[in-house]
């Protein structure tokens, strides 16, 4: 795969983000989640989820996309902002990170995480966390390599009760900065 271009998402990216979201779910979570949960992923529903966030972005959040070369198709996206729940004591949260399988292991996930960390820092969040399926060993290894530490666990009823674990970065400067983990 050629070098990816990371940029802020625009409203016209909504359909492409939804496509990546659904495709990445199907590629990544088959065998890790109940088939009914995976089958329920729907392009129109994902567009409805992302459209308001792209058309009227919250002031303390960001959505970044990765294009396959300048102006090419989207192959990944990430979203971040304030912590959405009260289970974890970190002000920021990485809400989403999805990379199509054909674009994995090319540094795109790292670049998106660094970009989101910089966005969170720019909004005054010095620490952040995320939730990932406990059974998703590849993602867990990726977050560990980027300096994340395990800080929690839960069962997610929205995912058929699937167990998740939380990773946190207590100092986002380490992830966003030029000497950060995984460089």
User: Is 32 inside a domain boundary?
Assistant: yes
User: Is 72 inside a domain boundary?
Assistant: yes
What is the value of pTM for the model shown? 0.93
Which residues span the domain enclosing 65? 4-125
Q: Please give the tally of structural domains in the chain.
A: 1
Residue 33: partners with Cβ closer than 8 Å, 6 or more residues away: 133, 159, 160, 162
Here the CATH number for the domain that contains residue 102 is 3.40.630.30
* pLDDT tens-place string over residues 58-104: 999 999 999 998 889 999 999 999 999 999 999 999 999 999 999 99
User: Is 85 inside a domain boundary?
Assistant: yes
Q: How confident is the model at residue 160 (pLDDT cuts 50, 70, 90)?
A: confident
Q: How confident is the model at residue 180 (pLDDT cuts 50, 70, 90)?
A: very low
Q: What is the pLDDT of residue 2?
A: 52
User: Is 161 inside a domain boundary?
Assistant: no
* pLDDT tens-place string over residues 104-141: 999 999 999 999 999 999 999 999 999 999 999 999 99
Q: How confident is the model at residue 182 (pLDDT cuts 50, 70, 90)?
A: very low
User: Is 33 inside a domain boundary?
Assistant: yes
User: Is 139 inside a domain boundary?
Assistant: no
User: Is 47 inside a domain boundary?
Assistant: yes
User: Is 162 inside a domain boundary?
Assistant: no
């Amino acid at each position: 795969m050629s070098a990816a271009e990371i940029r802020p998402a625009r409203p016209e990216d909504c359909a492409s983000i939804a496509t990546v979201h659904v495709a990445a779910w199907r590629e990544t979570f088959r065998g890790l989640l109940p088939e009914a949960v995976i089958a329920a992923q729907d392009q129109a529903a994902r567009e409805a989820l992302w459209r308001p966030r792209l058309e009227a972005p919250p002031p303390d959040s960001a959505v970044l996309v990765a294009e396959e070369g300048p102006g090419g198709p989207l192959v990944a996206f990430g979203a971040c902002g304030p912590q959405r729940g009260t289970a974890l004591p970190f002000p920021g949260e990485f809400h989403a990170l999805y990379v199509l399988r054909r674009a994995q292991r090319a540094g795109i996930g790292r670049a998106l995480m660094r970009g989101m960390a910089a966005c969170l820092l720019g909004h005054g969040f010095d620490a952040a966390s995320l939730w990932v399926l406990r059974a998703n060993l590849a993602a867990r290894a990726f977050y560990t390599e980027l300096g994340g530490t395990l800080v929690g666990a839960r069962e997610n009823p929205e995912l058929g009760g699937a167990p998740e674990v939380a990773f946190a970065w207590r100092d986002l400067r380490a992830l966003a900065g030029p000497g950060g983990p995984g460089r």
